[in-house]
Amino acid sequence: MLYPPWHLVVALCLTYVFLHFQVRHWRRARLSNPRRLPLPPGPIPSFLIGNLRDIPSRYPWLKYSALAKQYGDIVHVEVFGKHILILNSLEGAVDLCEKRSHIYSDRPRMPMVGEMMGWDINFTLMPYGPRWRRHRRLFHQNFNGAAVQSYIPVQAMEVHRMMQRLLSTPEDLFHHIRQSFAAAIMRVTYGMEVQGPNRHVKAAEDAMKGFADAAAPGAYLVDTIPILKYVPAWFPGATFVRKAQEWRKSLNEFVNGPFLLVKNDMAAGTGVPSICRTALEKARGSAEEDSITKNTCAMAFAGGSDTTTSTIQSFFLAMVLHPEIQKKAQEQIDSVVGRDRLPEFSDRVSLPYVEAIIKETLRWQPAGPMGVPHQTTADDEYKGYHIPKGAMILINAWSILNDDTAYPDPFAYNPERFLKDGQINPNVRDPEVAAFGFGRRICPGRHLVSNGAFLSIASILAAFDISHAIDEHGNQIEVEVRMTTGILSYPEPFKCSIRPRSETVPSMIQQSIDRDFEFLRV
């Protein structure tokens, strides 16, 4: 007896499954949209795969911004029956994700990063509900605007240590920046001091690299076809499975390692105060509360260091390219602070030009250009369009922060766009409205990031001149603005010159470190 070729059988089965779900999808669409409202405009889908070819795996914010110019600020695409809306304007993001946050605060299923890599412990990715609220509540208690003020001395000390390392090995700039913010959040969260190579920090860095790569919508096909997560690691083409397994090991190391050290110290009656220790004491041995504490502390460490790291790296890049801006900021710092000490946090209100640099850096190269996707929990109508339940909502923060109606000449790095008569102009849109997300899913660590950015930028400008590096032939090494892709974006490594502004800078930095230790010892 003759049998049809196996590939024909598979094709017929897949076609049957596709048509079955399409019929279900069509029936549900009729029930959920009785007024027959149109979906928002977007590119025409292809047969079977929909708009799969329109979902970019690299630099999605650029592709979606281009689609907005063609179809409008709200763009709709569909992949295998999954509706995706891209919001490219502040108006749409606020109207939906803030004013209607009760149905726009869920998260879509992300099999690669959540189920395969283990990031489902991250409350940033958790579905909207009681479990998310309990994690978010613990985080907010420790990182709200008032609470983070007590962490400023630790942040300042690690900034000063970073500056001391820059004196001896400025070529290791990117490493020093990352180590500084990792050390600060490690001490605040776990009470651990980090001065050199640390396996927990290394594991966190590896895990975050994987997260930044895998969490971007469209990066891996398994997020569109979840059944692919069952493909064995040895199967040809299953590179994504092997990647997920390696990244999961790093995640487990950085989530469990510091947490267990704190628990062991508590059992031995040793250790120092920390967020983790305080939360565990309140938990009183509850396994569920212990789990919430472990997850929340790990995510504080992950998010608290990486967002600030990206911002400070972008700041260095901007200063290399714009020495005239650097000089203006230094002149203001010298007039307010002087040349015999480093800026302190209390100087912030008197340094509006530095504040403008922070705002422009957040706007110019946002650390999260596309944010984290939202998902609708009910059918909705907006501007005459139907928005289905379960639709993925992508907010193009990059597009919002490059809106030429709010920021003329948006591709130019120009802090003075935020100033009027030498002070911050409240009539100019603050980049924080888009840089940290929207609604109930707004980044809860934004206050810590803001404080760390000021302490770093003000102190570095006071102590160093940043300029183009010179090669062995005496020629200037040119620098280009090139960012990495992914859900988190950083400047690609570049070379620059970092020189003390005077001979007294090393002693000034050491004096600041000595004062930091004295203050923290009290």
Q: Are 375 and 65 in contact (CB under 8 A)?
A: no
Sign of the four-CA dihedral 230, 234, 240, 246: positive
d(CA 153, CA 519): 8
d(CA 225, CA 202): 32
- CATH class for the region spanning 33-521: mainly alpha
User: Per-block average pLDDT, block size 10, for the chain (522 residues)?
Assistant: 47 55 54 84 90 90 96 94 95 97 94 91 91 94 94 95 96 93 91 82 84 80 87 88 91 90 91 91 89 92 80 97 98 96 96 98 95 95 96 97 96 97 96 94 92 97 97 93 91 96 96 87 62
Query: Does the annotation flag 496 for ligand binding?
Result: no
Query: In this structure, are strands 392-395 and 82-87 parallel, antiparallel, or unpaired?
Result: parallel
Nearest to 446 by CA among 128, 119, 139: 139
Q: Are 352 and 398 in contact (CB under 8 A)?
A: no
Residue 98: CA atoms inside 13 Å, Cβ hemisphere, count? 14
Residue 204: predicted pLDDT:
83
| Whole-number Cα distances in Å, 31 to 221, 391, 426 | 29, 16, 46
Sign of the four-CA dihedral 327, 332, 337, 343: negative
| Whole-number Cα distances in Å, 406 to 39, 355, 428, 429, 481 | 28, 18, 7, 7, 22
d(CA 194, CA 223): 36
d(CA 362, CA 308): 10
SS (H, E, C) 207-273: HHHHHHHHCCCCCCHHHCCHHHHHCCCCCCCCHHHHHHHHHHHHHHHHHHHHHHHHHHHHHHCCCCC
Query: Phi and psi of 224, rounded to 5°?
Result: -90, -35
Could you tell me the residue ranges of all domains in the chain? 33-521
Give the residues across from 393 on adjacent strands.
85, 374
